[in-house]
Structure 1
Amino acid sequence: MTAFIFNNLNDMQANINRNKLFVASCLSLLVTSLSFGIRAGILGTLGTQFNLSASELASIAATAFWGFPLAVVIGGMVVDAIGMKKLLVIAFLFHLAGIVLTIFAGGFWTLFLSTLLIGIANGTVEAACNPLVATLYPDNKTTKLNHFHLWFPGGIFIGTLIVFLFEKMGIGWQIQVAIMLIPTVIYGYLFSKLDFPVTERVASGVSTAEMYKSVGTPLFVFMFICMFGTAITELFTGQWVGVLLNNVTDNAILILTITTGVMVVGRGLAEPIVHRFSPQGVLLISAILAAIGIYMMSTVTGSMLYFAALIFGIGVCYFWPTMLGFVAENIPKSGALGLNLMGGAGMFAVSIYTLFMGGFYDRLIAEKLPEGASMEAYRTAAAGTTEAAKYAEAQLTAGPDVLKATAIIPVILTVAFAGLVFYMRNKKKPQLAGA
């Protein structure tokens, strides 16, 4: 009887074009990642043009991170009821509004609001597309989530290259932001024309009560907490590396380009790696390499910085999609809610950490300036002055100090994931009803 029901569900969704839906999903995530990559690349420029402090820049950057969890958690609660297609139409509209408002921004508050809109759009994309990919590929979830999420570092890689090349050509940051309109319009059009399946949880007949019960299990709570650390390690470092190491190297943005380039390749090759080491084994190896990479970036200089970025990129490469894949495979009854709570936890943690570390970065700089000096006067001093030189010197050590503090997080994750590996060795993988 179970097999009969499952086959009927497959027949009902036979008209779903899996490949086109996957491509459109990747384009929507590309917009999300371009927003991260381009914003990371122009953050310093925005600070200069609008006379913003590191704390104000941190507030703007953090807005994307707390707009994301707001959308992804609400989306996770309603996606089964309203369907994935309607959520993605909402994402398209918020992306469009946020990008246009960014282009015409005039200061802190317009940048704050536009970044919030883009953050909400990004969270809505994840709220719909993570369960969509898991539904489209029920027998290969972790691998396909890695393939889907390669477009996150892929978009950051493209975005940082756009910033780097356009700045060399003298093209303003508004045009750089406007580039995001192209994939936005394309994914909005594709999703409007395609038919969508119901989520895997609904198709399998798992009740809403069972779904909520699943997100209260000890294993889910453990992974939920670990998501704080994996997200901070990957996203805070990636978003802020250009600011933190700006005075350590002339090409700080290339560090992010190298990191994300490695992540694209790694996620594209996820299938044999995940099958060889298991999701929990991959997470353990990732935490070790991420800790080494961040520590190296905080201590080395010159060409070794790029080698450190390579190690860091390999380390964080599998974090986000493998965390989601682990939950989808080992706590399948948590459904779309489980996946989206994980994403929301990660982005919320990054938003809080970013705000805290922005203030910490300002305090580190202030400590290295002459006693009683005005941070504002030194930060806005004209190039070539004594004040400007002292401010740059303070930044030279403050940025790496922030990275050293962040390196503690993947060290803690190493211990946590070592425990997870031992726990999972004797645990039988659960099955969804009807699977």
Structure 2
Amino acid sequence: MTEFNRRRLFWLSVLALFTASVSASLRAAVASSLKAEWIDPIAPIAAGELIGAALGSAFLGFAVTLFITSALLDRIGMRRMLMGCGLCFLIGTALIVGAGALASGMTIYRLVWLGMLLSGIGWGLAEASINPLTARLYPEDTTHRLNVLHAWYPGGLIVGGLSGVFLASMLPWQAIMALVFLPALGVVAIAATTHFPARPALARDGRTKDMMLEVFRRPSFFVWFGAMFLTASSELAPGQWIDVALTNRVGMRGILLLVYVSALMFVFRHFAGRLAGRLSNPGLLWISSLFAAIGLFLLSRAQSPVAAIAASTVWGLGVCAMWPTMLASVAERYPKGDAWALGLVGSAGALASFFVLPRLGEMFDQAKVEIAGGPEAFTRLSGAALRQVEDAAASQSFARLTLVPLILLIVFGLIWAAERRANRRAARLAEGTA
């Protein structure tokens, strides 16, 4: 049997996720410039919805890829998946930055949309492989290791966000977006030269259908599937929208708020696994939902840098542990579901952003036209008057997101209470038989 280096495999997983997050933060950082240069001149009234749909297409690619490839992981092979991940980021990024040179009019937008879709496919290939790989490498410490792995998602957001801000005065946005090429090339090179673990016996025996049966014969799985849709709506969609919606209103680049929140996530995710051990996963997720709801509401009301930072702190502490703790909860509760169970909940999270981001853009467009007094009145606005209308519209779009974590408070509260009752009952039974 070929030996494999557990540490090397874990850091390859980190690099793949880091590439996905750098791409996501750079897409968010350049969205305003891309919108102003290529979309506003073509469709000024629907520009918000169009840029939201383009950003959301990455999550569509992520969701569909995760759904399909998770069940086929051991047939395709982790090496091929991770090499494909890097190639998708290379090609997708090239389409985004080269669209203006390759086409004109709405065809530019379609190429940007396709480039973001391919970037999402690369992200899906990464998540479909690195989450089950980490769970298999560290079966004794899954929650902690998944939180440490996913700490590098905000790590990439920090690098990409700061690059987008500080290089903006020196480089065109296309050159900034092209920074994704660097880690993507690293993923391809390292994956091609790394030994991976042998496929599990389940896959070797041709019984991968057992993964699917584990999911469908336990209906409680779909509660977690639905909850993932809502947790991702609380975390990923606002993160992609924050620069477009908040920059003018709070008096600072919104992407800097995402960088700040990402720094909180990077630190906290190294400890979230230990905290979950004290509270239980549903308990940690309930507290996370409470902070997320308060933070989103405060973001919708923020009018200054100080208020925006305070609101971002609350929101960031709320959402920072959601994604990895959801994955760990599913891995622990549905172990026979293996890669497919993890892929399903991951695809639910991605689909949330695919649906929510265009809806955010649509709400923003509707609100700005209503506040302005109609489409014709809006097109006549410029300068400070235009910014005032768009700021008010952005506030409304964020306020409506607050409902999502409020629903999660009920869901996780019921799960937490049920598990506490079950644990107390088990303890009493154990005492009775002692």
- Length-normalised TM-score, structure 2: 0.90
User: 1:49 aligns to what?
Assistant: 37
Alignment partner of 1:28 is 2:23: no
User: 2:82 aligns to what?
Assistant: 88
Deviation at residue 250 of structure 1 after TM alignment: 2.5
User: 1:197 aligns to what?
Assistant: 197
Residues 111-141 of structure 1, C-alpha deviations (whole Å, 9 max, x = no match): 1111111111111111111111111111111
The separation in 2 between residues aligned to 1:66 and 1:372, in whole angstroms, is 30
Alignment partner of 1:295 is 2:283: no
User: 2:373 aligns to what?
Assistant: 370
The 3 A distance-change label for structure 1 pair 346 and 220 is same
Give the aligned residue type for 1:258. Y
User: 2:429 aligns to what?
Assistant: none
Which of 391, 394, 416 is equivalent to 2:389? Answer: 394
Residues 169-212 of structure 1, C-alpha deviations (whole Å, 9 max, x = no match): 33211221121111111121111111111455737989434311
Q: Which moved more, 1:194-203 or 1:323-332?
A: 194-203
List 4+ stretches of structure 1 deviating above 4 A. Answer: 203-206
User: 1:211 aligns to what?
Assistant: 211
Percent identical among aligned pairs is 32
The separation in 1 between residues aligned to 2:132 and 2:164, in whole angstroms, is 32
Alignment partner of 1:104 is 2:98: yes
Alignment partner of 1:74 is 2:44: no
User: 2:122 aligns to what?
Assistant: 121
Residues 245-297 of structure 1, C-alpha deviations (whole Å, 9 max, x = no match): 12212212221111111111111222321222121111111001101111111
- Structure-to-structure mapping, 1:14-413, within 5 angstroms: 15-52=3-40, 53-106=47-100, 107-167=108-168, 169-198=169-198, 202=202, 207-216=207-216, 217-251=218-252, 252-302=254-304, 303-371=306-374, 373=376, 375=378, 377-378=379-380, 387-413=382-408
Contact 1:69 1:344 in 2 (8 A): yes
Contact 1:214 1:220 in 2 (8 A): no
Deviation at residue 58 of structure 1 after TM alignment: 1.0
SS in 1 for 2:373: coil
SS in 1 for 2:196: coil
The separation in 2 between residues aligned to 1:289 and 1:201, in whole angstroms, is 42
Give the aligned residue type for 2:30. I
Residues 68-120 of structure 1, C-alpha deviations (whole Å, 9 max, x = no match): 11111111121022221111121122111112222212131221111111111
Q: Which moved more, 1:196-205 or 1:303-312?
A: 196-205
Residues 16-56 of structure 1, C-alpha deviations (whole Å, 9 max, x = no match): 10000110110011110011101111111001111331111
User: 1:433 aligns to what?
Assistant: none
Residues 225-245 of structure 1, C-alpha deviations (whole Å, 9 max, x = no match): 001100011000100011111
User: 2:44 aligns to what?
Assistant: none
The 3 A distance-change label for structure 1 pair 203 and 266 is farther
Contact 2:31 2:244 in 1 (8 A): yes
The separation in 2 between residues aligned to 1:77 and 1:211, in whole angstroms, is 8
Q: Structure 1 or 2: larger helix share? A: 2
- Length-normalised TM-score, structure 1: 0.90
Extract unaligned runs of 5+ from structure 2. Answer: 41-46, 101-107, 424-434
User: 1:5 aligns to what?
Assistant: none
Deviation at residue 161 of structure 1 after TM alignment: 0.5
Contact 1:201 1:333 in 2 (8 A): no
The 3 A distance-change label for structure 1 pair 206 and 231 is farther
Contact 2:83 2:187 in 1 (8 A): no
The 3 A distance-change label for structure 1 pair 290 and 127 is same
The 3 A distance-change label for structure 1 pair 48 and 212 is same
The 3 A distance-change label for structure 1 pair 204 and 308 is farther
Contact 2:369 2:375 in 1 (8 A): no
The separation in 2 between residues aligned to 1:94 and 1:140, in whole angstroms, is 31
Deviation at residue 424 of structure 1 after TM alignment: 2.1
Give the aligned residue type for 2:283. G
Deviation at residue 427 of structure 1 after TM alignment: 5.0
The separation in 2 between residues aligned to 1:204 and 1:146, in whole angstroms, is 29
User: 1:8 aligns to what?
Assistant: none
The separation in 1 between residues aligned to 2:167 and 2:5, in whole angstroms, is 37
Deviation at residue 340 of structure 1 after TM alignment: 0.3
Give the total of aligned pairs.
407
Deviation at residue 372 of structure 1 after TM alignment: 5.2
The 3 A distance-change label for structure 1 pair 172 and 132 is same
The 3 A distance-change label for structure 1 pair 368 and 275 is same
SS in 2 for 1:399: helix
Give the aligned residue type for 1:325. A
The separation in 2 between residues aligned to 1:199 and 1:58, in whole angstroms, is 39
